[in-house]
C-alpha cells in the first residue's frame, strides 16, 4: 500500500532536517559553530591568586554575558592542565605562558592569547620545621623540595633558581604537593624541607604556624622579578590553547579575551575587599580579611589590558633555556607562542 503524497513529503522533510542537524553537530569541531559555545577551561590550581581572574569572571557573570557556556576545571597543577589540553579533555588552559615555549620545543603548537600575570607570583619558602637547617639554596641539595606538580611552572622555577646559583637542579628530590590545603599540609608535616609556593598558600602557612615565612627567593612582585631578569615583566598566568583551536574558533577566543580584559579592568577599579566578596567563600581559607589584603597585593602583578610583551617573553625563554633541558638551545619562534590580536594588539 502506497503512502499519501502529503505524508511522504512531510516525512522526507523531517528526515532531511534531522540529517542536516546531525551533520552540523558532528562535522563541526569548533565551538564557534554552537549558538552558545561550550568551552572547557583547565586551571593549574584554581584557588591560587595568580588564576583569580579566571574564577572571578564566572562569579561576575562575564562568561554568560558573552554567550559562553564555560566549564572551569581545577586540575591542581600547570603540567596537569597542559596534559589535559594535549589530551583533548579541555579546550583552553588557564596556566603559565611558559608552557607554550616548552611545547614548541616538542614540535607542538600552543598559543597564549590573553596574558593575566606579569610576575611568576611564587616564593621558595623554607618549611617551618626546617628553618634551622635550611639557610640557603645550597642547603637544599640532597633534600626534598615541594612543587605543585613535576613539570609545572613551580618546578621549572625551582630548577632555574638552582642553576642560577650554580647548583645542580637534579640534586634535589622533587615532591608533588599540589596547591591549597595539600601544599600547606606538606610544608607543615615536614614531608619537604622547602616548597615553591604561591599565594594565598604562603600566607595561610604563616598564619597556621604563627611564624613569619622564610624565603630563599621571592618573585611575587615586579621588583622581585628585576632581581633575576632585565625586565620587570615575566609573563605568567594566561589563557592558552592549541593553535589550531584558535584558528578554528576565533569568535570564541575573542569572547574569552573580552571576558578576561573586562575582568582585569574590574580588578584594577575595585578594592581587594570588594573583589574578595565576589569570590567563592572557600577560597579565602576562612580569613576573608587576609584574603582581601592578598588580592590588593596581587593587583600590581596583573596586566590591565591582557597583553604580553616581547621583553617578557624573552625573560621566560631565558628561564626555560637554563632550567629546562628539553628547551635548551632549541630554535624557538617566540612570535608563534603568543598573540595580542584578541586584546587589541598584534
pLDDT in tens, 241-290: 999 999 999 999 999 999 999 999 999 999 999 999 999 999 998 899 99
Q: Mean pLDDT over residues 215-223, rounded?
A: 90
What SS3 state is found at 40?
Answer: strand
What is the homologous superfamily of the domain 122-229 according to CATH? Periplasmic binding protein-like II (3.40.190.10)
State pLDDT tens for residues 313-337: 999 999 999 999 999 999 999 999 9
For 301, residues 6+ apart whose C-beta sits below 8 A from its C-beta are 50, 117, 118, 119, 121, 220, 221, 222
38-119+234-336 and 122-229, same CATH topology? yes
User: In the prediction, which pLDDT does 8 show?
Assistant: 42
Q: Mean pLDDT over residues 163-187, rounded?
A: 95
Sign (positive or negative) of CA dihedral 173, 216, 201, 213 = positive
State pLDDT tens for residues 288-302: 999 999 999 999 999
- Indicate whether this model's pTM tops 0.85: no
Residue 24 pLDDT > 60: no
Residue 31 pLDDT > 90: no
Q: Are 112 and 94 in contact (CB under 8 A)?
A: no
Cα end-to-end distance, the chain, whole Å:
67
Domain boundaries, the chain: 38-119+234-336, 122-229
Q: How far apart are CA 257 and CA 46, in angstroms?
A: 19
Options 3.40.50.460, 3.40.50.720, 1.10.8.60, 3.40.190.10; CATH of 38-119+234-336:
3.40.190.10
User: What mean pLDDT value characterizes the chain?
Assistant: 90
User: In the prediction, which pLDDT does 231 show?
Assistant: 86
State pLDDT tens for residues 114-143: 999 999 989 999 999 999 999 999 999 999
Tell which residue, 333, 268, 339, has the closest CA to residue 308. 339
Q: Are 97 and 233 in contact (CB under 8 A)?
A: no
User: In the prediction, which pLDDT does 211 show?
Assistant: 85
Q: Mean pLDDT over residues 211-235, rounded?
A: 89
Amino acid at each position: 500500500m502506497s503512502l499519501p503524497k502529503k505524508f511522504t513529503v512531510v516525512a522526507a522533510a523531517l528526515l532531511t532536517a534531522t540529517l542536516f542537524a546531525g551533520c552540523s553537530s558532528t562535522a563541526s569541531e569548533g565551538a564557534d559553530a554552537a549558538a552558545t559555545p561550550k568551552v572547557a577551561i583547565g586551571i593549574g590550581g584554581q584557588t591560587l591568586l595568580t588564576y583569580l581572574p579566571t574564577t572571578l569572571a564566572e562569579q561576575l557573570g562575564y562568561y554568560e554575558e558573552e554567550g559562553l557556556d564555560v566549564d572551569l576545571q581545577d586540575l591542581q597543577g600547570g603540567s596537569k592542565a597542559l596534559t589535559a589540553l594535549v589530551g583533548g579533555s579541555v579546550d583552553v588552559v588557564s596556566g603559565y605562558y611558559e608552557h607554550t615555549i616548552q611545547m614548541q620545543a616538542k614540535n607542538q603548537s600552543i598559543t597564549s592569547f590573553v596574558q593575566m600575570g606579569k610576575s611568576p607570583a611564587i616564593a621558595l619558602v623554607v618549611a617551618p620545621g626546617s628553618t634551622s637547617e635550611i639557610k640557603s639554596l645550597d642547603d637544599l641539595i640532597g633534600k626534598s623540595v615541594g612543587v605543585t606538580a613535576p613539570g609545572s611552572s613551580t618546578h621549572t622555577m625551582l630548577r632555574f633558581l638552582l642553576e642560577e646559583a650554580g647548583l645542580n637542579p637534579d640534586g634535589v628530590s622533587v615532591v608533588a604537593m599540589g596547591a591549597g590545603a595539600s601544599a600547606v599540609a606538606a610544608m607543615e608535616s615536614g614531608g619537604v624541607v622547602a616548597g615553591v609556593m604561591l599565594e594565598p598558600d604562603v600566607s595561610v602557612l604563616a598564619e597556621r604556624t604563627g611564624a613569619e615565612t622564610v624565603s630563599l627567593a621571592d618573585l611575587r612582585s615586579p621588583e622581585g622579578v628585576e632581581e633575576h631578569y632585565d625586565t620587570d615583566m615575566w609573563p605568567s598566568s594566561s589563557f592558552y590553547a592549541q593553535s589550531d583551536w584558535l584558528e578554528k574558533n576565533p569568535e570564541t577566543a575573542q569572547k574569552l579575551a573580552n571576558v578576561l580584559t573586562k575582568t582585569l579592568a574590574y580588578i584594577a577599579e575595585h578594592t581587594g575587599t570588594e573583589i574578595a566578596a565576589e569570590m567563592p567563600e572557600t577560597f579565602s581559607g576562612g580569613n576573608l580579611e587576609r584574603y582581601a589584603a592578598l588580592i590588593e597585593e596581587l593587583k600590581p602583578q596583573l596586566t590591565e589590558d591582557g597583553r604580553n610583551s616581547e621583553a617578557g617573553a624573552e625573560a621566560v625563554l631565558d628561564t626555560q633555556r637554563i632550567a629546562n633541558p628539553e628547551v635548551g638551545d632549541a630554535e624557538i619562534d617566540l612570535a608563534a607562542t603568543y598573540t595580542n590580536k584578541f586584546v587589541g594588539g598584534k
